[in-house]
Amino acid sequence: MAERGGGPRPGGRSARVQAAVHRAARDLLARMDRAEVTIPLIAAEAGVTPSTIYRRWGELNELLADVAVERLRPDMVPVETGHGRGDLLAWAEQYAEEMSSGLGREMIRDVLAAEGGTGPRRCCSYARQQIALIAERAAARGEAFPSLDAVLDGVLAPILFRILFDEALGPARVGELVERVFEGDRRVDDP
Amino acid sequence: MAERGGGPRPGGRSARVQAAVHRAARDLLARMDRAEVTIPLIAAEAGVTPSTIYRRWGELNELLADVAVERLRPDMVPVETGHGRGDLLAWAEQYAEEMSSGLGREMIRDVLAAEGGTGPRRCCSYARQQIALIAERAAARGEAFPSLDAVLDGVLAPILFRILFDEALGPARVGELVERVFEGDRRVDDP
DNA sequence: CCTCCAAACGCAAAGAATTTGCTTTTAGCG
DNA sequence: CGCTAAAAGCAAATTCTTTGCGTTTGGAGG
């Protein structure tokens, strides 16, 4: 029913409609309150009929989650500072800042609100890839670097947890978390 | 608009309606798929008109979030094992298990999906209270115990992060997290 | 190049949910 | 014992969602 993701074939009609709908949704989210955005509105903006959207996405949450996951995909490689700890710190600080914004928070919530669990998984995997890349670079330089799970649980988890349930962490606290994940037992086993 | 929480006055008509609606929502959630539950359905089950619910809660998400926060409120004090680390471990394991269930995950998502940020805050504060209680008991015994923030970021955050974005953590990993939060800098006076 | 096919879209009617104006009930108060 | 403000009921109007059916489209095979 859902058929999220890149679409069936690149270049087909299906892909064009999906692109138009995504763009329309992004535009509307940018210029009006999230609660006022409806499927008929997006359809009108995209130049398609509502039933097309209902058939492809099923409900507003699925569509918005789809759009949010797309926007959450990292668009650049993590900056290189010369050592793994600096790379991770820079990445974590930028990540925390982006996600702490009003728009960032809304996108995360949209992703979580969708039915199928694939959206959150994809977001997690995006972060995983970025961290793995930093870890690889560190390993190539012969540095010790914490395991992927340690970084996920020790840095990413607190950042997202605080954004969702409490108050977003500031850069100072993010720095502490990065420091802490480098302390103690370093498991370099994970590539 | 929302008027979540305990209700205006205990015993009034308002409180009775709220209780009836909450119960109806819980019953329906228990016996049918979450996606099929609608406000008119809940209204019928509760014996009120839909417009009452619309006026009080605004939309389905708000109502379900309200119900979920209620159910997420801890109903007992953390078990006493004799020392803080054991208390925290027992609490964390039980928390992780409860939240990892299908029902637990749905409740968390409901809480997060609501508009106002008060639901997630309240859930966080429930956990805070439980942890603070464990910490107080430890302090009363003269034990060292990690700071509240350290526990939130080091134990609670990974548990919830994995449930929401990845795969729920097993008891073994939860135990590791508890161990780790007791390592390193303890910001409470030494034992 | 042409024809055929399945997938996807548009249209419009039917069905369901949401909003809203107005009336009625109720609990608390003087 | 009335009075009043808040909350609920009722019903009409509006908006969203679903669905059946005909049309278009892009691609595969001849």
Digit-coded pLDDT (tens) for B18-36: 999 999 999 999 999 999 9
Residues A48 and A97 in one domain: no
Q: How does the average pLDDT of chain B come out, rounded?
A: 91
Give the pLDDT confidence score for residue B190 in this predicted structure: 41
pLDDT score for A185? 53
CB-CB neighbours of B186 under 10 Å: 16
Check whether residue B61 has its CB closer than 7 Å to nucleic acid strand D: no
Range of the domain at B29: 13-58
User: Which residues 32 to 61 of A reach strand D, CB within 7 A?
Assistant: 38-41, 50-51, 54-55, 58-60
What is the average per-residue pLDDT within B46-75?
96
- What is the mean predicted confidence (pLDDT) over B54-80? 96
pLDDT tens for each residue of A31-85: 999 999 999 999 999 999 999 999 999 999 999 999 999 999 999 999 999 999 9
pLDDT of residue B9: 60
List pLDDT tens digits, range B126-161: 999 999 999 999 999 999 999 999 999 999 999 999
Reported as a single tens digit per residue, the pLDDT across A120-172 is: 999 999 999 999 999 999 999 999 999 999 999 999 999 999 999 999 999 99
Footprint of strand C on the protein (CB under 7 A): A 3, 8, 13-14, 17-18, 47-49, 51-52, 55-56; B 9, 11-13, 38-41, 50-51, 54-55, 58-60
pLDDT above 90 as % of chain B = 87
pLDDT at B102 over 80: yes
Which tens digits make up the pLDDT trace of A89-115? 999 999 999 999 999 999 999 999 998
Kindly list the residues from chain B whose CB atom is less than 8 angstroms away from the CB atom of residue A2. none
For residues A41-62, one letter each, b for 16 or more C-beta atoms within 10 angstroms of the residue's C-beta and e for the rest, the string is bbbebbebeeeebeebbbebbb
| Average pLDDT in chain A | 91
- Sign of the alpha-carbon dihedral angle for B44, B48, B52, B58: negative
Q: Are residues B77 and B152 in the same domain?
A: yes
Count: domains in chain B: 2
Q: Clarify whether residues B92 and B170 are in a common domain.
A: yes
Clarify whether residues B49 and B78 are in a common domain. no
Whole-number Å distance between alpha carbons of A181 and A141: 19
* pLDDT band at residue B115 under the 50/70/90 scheme: confident
Chain A positions in Cβ-Cβ contact with residue B153 (cut-off 8 Å)? 157-158, 161-162, 177
Given a cut of 70, whether residue A187 has pLDDT beyond it is no
Smallest CA–C1' separation from B54, nucleotide:
C18
Which amino acid makes up residue B149?
D
Query: What pLDDT score was predicted for residue B167?
Result: 96
Q: Are residues A122 and A32 in the same domain?
A: no
> Distance (Å, rounded) from C-alpha A152 to C-alpha A127?
8
Exposed / middle / buried, residue B135 (Cβ in 10 Å: 0-12, 13-18, 19+): buried
For A177, name the nearest residue in chain B, comparing CA atoms only. B153
Question: Which of the nucleotides lies closest to B15 (Cα–C1')?
Answer: D7
How distant is the Cα of A79 from the closest Cα of chain B, in angstroms? 25
Residues A76 and A54 placed together within one structural domain of the fold: no
Taking each helix axis from N to C terminus, what angle separates B157-165 and B171-182, rounded to the nearest 10 degrees? 150
| pLDDT of B1 over the 90 cut | no
Residue B60 CA distance to nucleotide D13 C1' (Å): 21
In a domain, residue A67? The reply is no
CATH number at residue A33: 1.10.10
Residues B77 and B35 in one domain: no
Question: Once rounded to an integer, what is the mean pLDDT over residues A13-41?
Answer: 96
Residue B188 has pLDDT above 50, yes or no: no
- Exposed / middle / buried, residue A141 (Cβ in 10 Å: 0-12, 13-18, 19+): exposed
Q: Is the pLDDT of residue A3 over 80?
A: no
